[in-house]
Structure 1
Amino acid sequence: MVEWGEVVRILALADDLSGASEVAAILAEIPECTQKREELQPRQRGVCVHLEMPTLGAKATEVTVLDTDNRRRGEERAADHLRHLLNDSAVFPGPQVRVFLKFDSLLRGHIGGQLRAAQELTPILFCPAVPGIGRTVRGGKLLIDGYPLRDSGLWSAEPEYPANEVASQLSPAPTRTLDLTTVRGTHLGKALKQAAESGAVAVCDAESDADLDRLAAIGLDLGFTLAGAAGLAEATARRLASESFAPPAGAVPDRRETLFILGTASAAAQRQVDRLEETGIRVHRLHPEQIDGFSLEHHGTVAVTVDGPVDPSNSESIITGLAHLAMRHHADRHLVLSGGETARTVLGVLGFSELVPLKQAHAGAVVSEADGRLIATRPGSYGPPTSLIDILTTIDLLQNTTRKA
């Protein structure tokens, strides 16, 4: 077992790019933006987000995050891809490594198959709770502000409804549910061991940060790989907070305009767009059929968003159209990319392979640096009504500001 006073490297594998950026900011202890230039502090651990798995070895940063892009793969391909990554001995040699598996807090994607693949190497503790944004797990059910996920409307863009219980949604992974009484009781460690011995993923209830802290502490001490959403990642960061590292000195990119590419038509996202437009930012609301032929001006800060109902079966072509629109018209602007698949596709088309997180505009909205420009990513459904304004404010604060080691 690694002693907590030693340097611990963290490898996080996330199934989409917005999740990768989010977990990178959390594990590197990058705080949310205070909106004050003088309070922009350097990140605490060296961190990099990769779109392709590098060979890391001894020169790895303290926190390495990989976007596996498994959200878009089929179940078998996603499981095979994660299995390959976890079996790659060149990725992170040595015993002083903690692996975190980051999945969607709304349980989207083929999570169960990936957990079953990961079980071949390590026992798994899974919890998708994020109490800070009202996402809790009680009685084996994921609740959104107290209501079952199935009734929340947050799966409206998916081809089918989620299962009633977390364990059922994780099929085909074998599972054992640990209720809140067990999580808070004196026999949590024993229950986790019994789940592992039976070959099951321990699916845990949690309603508070204290619950998650307990899961992270006991799970890590017993050698479990932790898997879940931002809440469990935050608990992991708190548990592994004994070491901190400053990044190399460097200059934040020069002042530029910003291009927003917003790959979601959700009602919450449209309210955020409305608030952005009220500040004077020009917004182009495009129906899916308008995206491919749309010509965007090559100057100024501007936003492009999808308007009207979106057929889930057409989402891939919409995302591809937005990516090619960005390629044609980005004009070296900073980028704000909403939606993990949108962000991944845009950055792939533009040729970016690594992101260095700098700051969180708010929980889940991460501003990173890549090849001389700032790139903000966030899940499509995240954030308050002022989310896009907060991101733009953070970009403005970071521009022309020198980071100190």
Structure 2
Amino acid sequence: MSIAIIGDDLSGSNDTAVYFSKYGFSSCVLNYPEGFQLESGFCDVLAISTNTRESVPQEAAEVAKEVSTYLLQLGIDNIYKKIDSTFRGNIGAEVESIMETIGIPLALICPTFPNLQRTVHSGSLYIDGILLEETPFAQDPGCPVRESYLPELLKKQTSLNVSLLDLNTVRKGVEAVTEALLRFAGNGKCMVVADAVTNEDLEVLISVNRALLPPMLFCGSAGMSSVMLSSSKVFTQPKAPPVMIIVGSVHPHNRRLMDAATSAQAAGEVFLDPDCMQDPDMIAKALEKAETLLRENKNIILHTYQCAEARKASRDRARRDISEERELPANIGKGLQNFAAALLKHHLFSGIIVTGGSTALYILRGIEGAGVKMVEEMEVGLPYGTVIGGPLNGLGIITKAGGFGTEGAFIEGIAYLKNKYLKERGTE
């Protein structure tokens, strides 16, 4: 997850998040306070609805601070502040709070949404060509807006400087807008209201040379975010998330497939010692390695594979106790199940590759899957399908018997699952 949206109501947050989904990002919207800290590592884009549009300014600012602090803890620094296209809510208080919390000295604010006839000209907001204060939004029972001139409205909501970037400057192009923002920022922390009437105007605003500017917070309606996505100037197209390969079979052929994948730097190995499946220290170290690889968007191979000598020693230890010998395969299966399920719960994957029939069953049950919808064969002996049921319904899965598969099967399987993932989201 690398992008966050902070909105002040649920429908508006949904309106913005859905644009990201249309462009191939997996996005989710969580509510404050009950849901905003739920596990969301499976999303590219996390939208949080603070539900503070009708709150008093101080409360709205405090919630914005709490949410921003949480996003920083997640390591997210690409934040978009979603505002209402009719400028309802505590926009000044919330934007100032976010700027202060994440250390950003400049905010560019533009509620323009040309597709819905919401435009800003000479600092005033128009709805269908009518000044905001003359529309029904001025009489909104929960959050009336009786001022059309946005710089003046913002000054009543914030202690920061407020400036206007006029349409004449916007129409001069990116260089002129960048220079104007530099001048505004030179006077200290500030919010800049920008004129924009068309999507082309919004395109100019989001194309500013950010390398020359101090860190800047974009604040806009779904109109601005949709232009950002279509132009890829701020939010680049998502990469396919990693693939997890789970090797439960001890067939020696799998070692060759693993070596081929690691030699090609297609994946990193995470080893679970089959003799220590209940050892919290071993699990913690393996989890730390897996998390490190996933943070770098690297594919992982989760396995318990040992050399022949180590496998013999493990079996010999188990044979000293007949019950332990019988339980060893189940202990390994359950260990892989629990470890893989934890990663699948907290991270987004393009799909999984599982070797060994019993291992596949453990993994499927670990994610509450009822079965697999078969689609096609990636190569002989490696069927591809999607998980049926459970929270990961639709997850791509390739299964492989121990001795099956060409030497490059894992490498090809990774590319295959990632292509499937992107194709399903229209970003191939």
**What TM-score do you get using the length of structure 2 for normalisation?**
0.49
Gaps of at least 5 residues in structure 2 are 243-392, 396-419, 422-428
Structure 1 position 240, deviation (Å): 4.0
Aligned to 1:68: 50
Q: Indicate the SS of the match to 1:70.
A: coil
Q: 1:21 to 1:246 in 2, by over 3 A?
A: farther
Deviates more, 1:103-112 or 1:81-90: 81-90
Alignment partners' CA distance in 2, 1:27 and 1:124: 22
Aligned to 1:150: 133
Give the % identical residues: 26
The answer on whether the counterparts of 2:91 and 2:157 sit within 8 Å (CA) in structure 1 is: no
Aligned to 2:157: 172
- Pair member with larger Rg: 2
2:225 is the alignment partner of 1:233 = yes
Aligned to 1:9: 2
Q: 1:241 to 1:78 in 2, by over 3 A?
A: closer
Alignment partners' CA distance in 2, 1:119 and 1:72: 21
Q: 1:205 to 1:188 in 2, by over 3 A?
A: same
Q: Indicate the SS of the match to 1:87.
A: helix
2:24 is the alignment partner of 1:44 = yes
Trace 1:279-290 onto structure 2 (pairs within 5 A).
none
Match of 1:197 among 181, 186, 192: 186
Q: 1:402 to 1:53 in 2, by over 3 A?
A: closer
Aligned to 2:169: 182
2:198 is the alignment partner of 1:208 = yes
The answer on whether the counterparts of 2:25 and 2:44 sit within 8 Å (CA) in structure 1 is: yes
Q: Indicate the SS of the match to 1:187.
A: helix
Aligned to 1:20: 13
Q: Indicate the SS of the match to 2:200.
A: helix
Aligned to 2:64: 82
Which amino acid in structure 2 is aligned with residue 168 of structure 1?
A: E
Q: Deviations over 1:281-304 (max 9, x none)?
A: xxxxxxxxxxxxxxxxxxxxxxxx
Q: Indicate the SS of the match to 2:133.
A: helix
Over aligned residues, Cα RMSD in angstroms? 2.9
The answer on whether the counterparts of 2:2 and 2:45 sit within 8 Å (CA) in structure 1 is: yes
Alignment partners' CA distance in 2, 1:136 and 1:247: 37
Q: Indicate the SS of the match to 2:208.
A: helix
The answer on whether the counterparts of 2:206 and 2:234 sit within 8 Å (CA) in structure 1 is: no
Task: Considering Cα pairs closer than 8 Å and 6+ residues apart, tell me whether 1 or 2 has the greater RCO.
Answer: 1
2:234 is the alignment partner of 1:244 = no
**What TM-score do you get using the length of structure 1 for normalisation?**
0.52
Structure with more helix by fraction: 2
Alignment partners' CA distance in 1, 2:197 and 2:123: 11
The answer on whether the counterparts of 2:132 and 2:145 sit within 8 Å (CA) in structure 1 is: no
Structure 1 position 89, deviation (Å): 5.7
Q: Deviations over 1:219-275 (max 9, x none)?
A: 755331100211111122232454235699xxxxxxxxxxxxxxxxxxxxxxxxxxx
Q: Indicate the SS of the match to 1:64.
A: strand
2:146 is the alignment partner of 1:162 = yes
The answer on whether the counterparts of 1:54 and 1:91 sit within 8 Å (CA) in structure 2 is: no
Alignment partners' CA distance in 2, 1:22 and 1:91: 26
How many residue pairs end up in the alignment? Answer: 232
